[in-house]
Amino acid sequence: MFTVQRVKARQILDSRGNPTVEVDLALSSGAFGRAAVPSGASVGSREAIELRDDNKNIYAGKGVLGAVKNVNTVIAARILNKNFAEQKVFDAALIDLDGTETKELLGANAILAVSIAFAKAAASQMNINLFQLISQKRYPVRMPTPMLNLINGGAHADNPIDIQEFMIVPKADNISSSLEIAAAVFHNLKSTLKKMGHSTNVGDEGGFAPNLRSTELVLDILSESILKSGLTLGENVEIALDIAATELFKGSFYHLKGEKTKLNSAEFALYHKKLIDTYQICSIEDPMAENDLEGWKIVTDLIGNKVQLVGDDIFVTNKSILEQGIKKGLANALLVKMNQVGTLTETLQAVDLAYQNGYETIVSHRSGETEDTTIAHLAVGIGSKYIKAGSICRTDRVCKYNELLRVSESLC
Ligand code: PGA
Ligand code: ZN
């Protein structure tokens, strides 16, 4: 039994200098948990609502003091000195207290921070790791392969690159070797860009954000850096993309501004096919927009048997939305972002459905992050095939990979 003795929320800053919610929660046993929630830039329209203050005088309207207050008053009144048998029961109380589909009353940011803080405190009371609490022996605990975002475009960078994320996926048998491969490519990519006279400044997720227009040129430079690192594309490392296509879709067309062209869904699916045939691309996330289900069907039928097609905006880690997509035969993998749905329990429900239907999972950070490393434990705890936590620089990204290194010690 877990009895909540103390809960306190505060407003802290995320990696983009915007406010976010952090919660401290203590149990009567003395066990303690602290959690901070992330925030996205390319947000799916059906994500749970992140509550922000409407006060233009505080952080340009981005304050979260209302969400903080909700934790310290309404949520505190519901959970303080109450006994909860397990996470499911605790999260059900939060979901019930909010009472809305989208968590708009109390804010998904308020609710998720409390949900995760409780999970951490519960794990501590049980004297187990957070990943073990998440696994509950329902999932085989396993170390995920990192997908490292080395070039940032789209909504994450101030450059003309249309595609949001260019990731590398090391093919190594442990996390430590994967990170070593990633570091080699990262440094070679930096010197290649420098030599070509391009900027080596980084975007929101720590990847380089050069002023390039052509997707193929970006992929050529990335491939060259892999080669320079003494690695073979396809053998030692593969490439993954997040198109974040919802951001490109307007009036039935995908507008590729960098390449000065627009494509309809069928043409865009062929565009993806050409990319995967030319480069060793193992995974494409959001190849079509969240409301272009026809396009999703076309691309899944065309290349779904060759490549991982990951649903982010289209599924928003929501079990019932995922269910509709599965029925229509869209995508073959689920991106898992806890703040899209707002509690740990609901996240695991979406994961369960994905696994039951043979969909892989990729646990993901958001472009606005904190030093919280919960996603490392989530990925291990659900036995996720992949984790994407950004590049190999900037502590808000690297802290997740570093936590995986620590976790790997207890998996040996
Ligand atoms: P976001 O981007 O956190 O800005 O939504 C990450 C992603 O699209 O996967
Ligand atoms: Zn995405």
**Per-residue model confidence as pLDDT tens digits over 116-127:** 999 999 999 999
**32 CA distance to ligand 2 middle (Å):** 32
By C-alpha distance, which of 174, 267, 189, 187 is closest to 222? 189
User: What would the DSSP string read from start to end of 260-305?
Assistant: TEEE-HHHHHHHHHHHHHHTTEEEEE--S-TT-HHHHHHHHHHHTT
Q: Which of 20, 42, 204 to mutate to test the pocket of ligand 1 (most atoms within 8 A of CB)?
A: 42
**5 CA distance to ligand 1 middle (Å):** 35
| Tokens at 154, concatenated | 């789209």
Query: Which segments in the chain show pLDDT lower than 50?
Result: none
Q: Quote the pLDDT of residue 369.
A: 98
Strand partners of residue 8 = 24
Q: Quote the pLDDT of residue 54.
A: 87
Backbone angles phi, psi at 358, to 5 degrees: 75, 20
Report the alpha-carbon distance of residue 114 to residue 82 in Å, rounded.
Answer: 14
Return residue ranges of the chain for CATH 3.20.20.120: 145-410
Write out residues with Cβ below 6 Å of ligand 1. Answer: 40-43, 242, 244, 312, 364, 366-367
Query: By the 8 A CB rule, do 172 and 143 touch?
Result: no
Q: Quote the pLDDT of residue 355.
A: 98
Return residue ranges of the chain for CATH 3.30.390.10: 2-127
- Ligand 1 closest atom vs CA 44: 5
- Residue 162: partners with Cβ closer than 8 Å, 6 or more residues away: 153, 154, 215, 248, 256, 257, 258, 259
Q: Is 92 exposed, middle or buried (0-12, 13-18, 19+ CB in 10 A)?
A: middle
Instruction: Please give the torsion angle defined by the CA atoms of residues 197, 200, 203 and 208, in that order, rounded to the nearest 10 degrees.
Output: 90
Ligand that comes closest to the CA of residue 315: 2
Place domain 145-410 in its CATH homologous superfamily.
Enolase-like C-terminal domain (3.20.20.120)
DSSP-H helix ranges across 140-233 = 175-195, 215-228
Report the alpha-carbon distance of residue 72 to residue 83 in Å, rounded.
Answer: 18
Backbone angles phi, psi at 55, to 5 degrees: -95, 105
- Residue with tokens 């080596």, as numbered in its chain: 200
| Tokens at 358, concatenated | 């043979």
Report how far Cα 343 is from the mean position of its chain's Cα atoms: 15
Report the alpha-carbon distance of residue 151 to residue 165 in Å, rounded.
Answer: 6
Please write the tens of the pLDDT for every residue from 315-371.
Answer: 999 999 999 999 999 999 999 999 999 999 999 999 999 999 999 999 999 999 999
**Active centre residues (catalytic):** 205, 337
Q: Quote the pLDDT of residue 391.
A: 98
Q: Quote the pLDDT of residue 32.
A: 98
Place domain 2-127 in its CATH homologous superfamily.
Enolase-like, N-terminal domain (3.30.390.10)
